[in-house]
Amino acid sequence: MERKQWSRRGFLKSAGSVVALGGATYTGNTFGDAADKPASGAKRWQGGQSPWPLALNASTIRPTDIAEKLEIAAKTGWDAFEPWINDLEKYEAEHGSLKEFARRAADLGLFINNVIGLWDCMPEGEEAFQASLPATRERMRRCSEAGAQFVAAIPAPDRAGFDPKWAVHCYRELMRIGREDYNLRVAFEFVGFMKGIYRFGEAAGIALDTNDENACLIMDTFHLFRGGSGFNCVRHVQGDFIANFHVNDVPGDIPREEQGDEHRLYPGDGILPLEKLFRDLKNIGYQRTLSLEIFKRDYWEMPPMEVAARGKEKLLEVITRAGV
């Protein structure tokens, strides 16, 4: 595999060559990314309405076939598409080539910002970790061939008392493998309803303690809410520390501790301080994707084109109200 050379560009920065694609800047799965530009010359997206490219996460229209999801993302005007690893497995089984998936996305004017994800990639103990690597490598291969810039590493199998030092060890090694063998950047994702690593501060500490300049986090408005981290924390990090930001909203009539993925709503339909969050993201220099990730069963029963279009409309409305 041809290796892309990268150099330091400040803490947690990386460089990559950028090419034009369908009116957007795109780098495939190199170590630069579509939104990785100096803030002073930052590109605006969605006809100037957004400082960030907008991605449709595949879960938002989950029952739909993966090939159709890609078409829907393009037809409804998204900038990027975020598949799940099972989507890629299905596409490869049915179509034979994930490189064809990457080409199709490019032809449609989309880039693949991230894939969810590396499941069970941090089992307890070195023997179990080594035994998990063949499956993890297969997932990385699929993500790389699909043109993904990032892949999410989830601290699982979930368990109470998950040792943060062990998470540091595993995440550091996963980043090395992704970088050296698959030209893929691995991001750490915390999940707000887990028993182990579920808060922003814990996840940030794990990423920082790897002492790897490419360490970064997948963030999610639902997980910030559900895990109790809140939203004031975001302003304290650099924008490049965040690989991708999942955006959704939550209802106000269900206790926080009782909410699950199925309660996620369109942005602006709930109680989360999304306008403040977007202003904070702009102020810290965040330039990567906002990805709409929703698991609401009611939405799954609706026409997927309608859900994708309405989701983008709602997200843009909040961005406009934020004044960014």
Q: Is 94 helix (H, G, I), strand (E, B) or coil?
A: helix
Q: Return d(Cα 227, Cα 241) in angstroms, integer.
A: 20
On whether the pTM is more than 0.75, the answer is: yes
* 3-class state of residue 112 by DSSP: strand
How far apart, in whole angstroms, are the C-alpha atoms of residue 183 and residue 102? 15
pLDDT at 3 over 50: no
Name every residue whose Cβ is closer than 8 Å to that of residue 41 and which is 6 or more positions away in sequence: none
CA atoms in the 13 A half-sphere facing the CB of 162: 25
The pLDDT of residue 29: 52
**Residue among 269, 102, 276 at smallest CA distance from 184:** 102
Instruction: Measure the CA–CA gap between 79 and 290, rounded to whole angstroms.
Output: 10
CA of residue 184 relative to chain centroid, distance:
13
User: For the chain, what are the domain ranges?
Assistant: 19-322
In one letter, which amino acid is 214? N
Phi, psi of 242 (to 5 degrees): -110, 125
The greatest distance separating any two alpha carbons of the chain, rounded to the nearest whole angstrom, comes to 53
Residues 12-46: tens digit of each pLDDT = 333 333 333 333 333 445 444 544 443 446 799 99
Q: 159: pLDDT confidence band, cut at 50, 70 and 90?
A: very high
Structure-block tokens of residue 225: 């809410």
Token pair, residue 157, equals 């199998």
Taking only the tens place, the pLDDT of each residue in 44-88 is 999 999 999 999 999 999 999 999 999 999 999 999 999 999 999
To the question of domain 19-322 being in CATH 3.90.1300.10, the answer is no
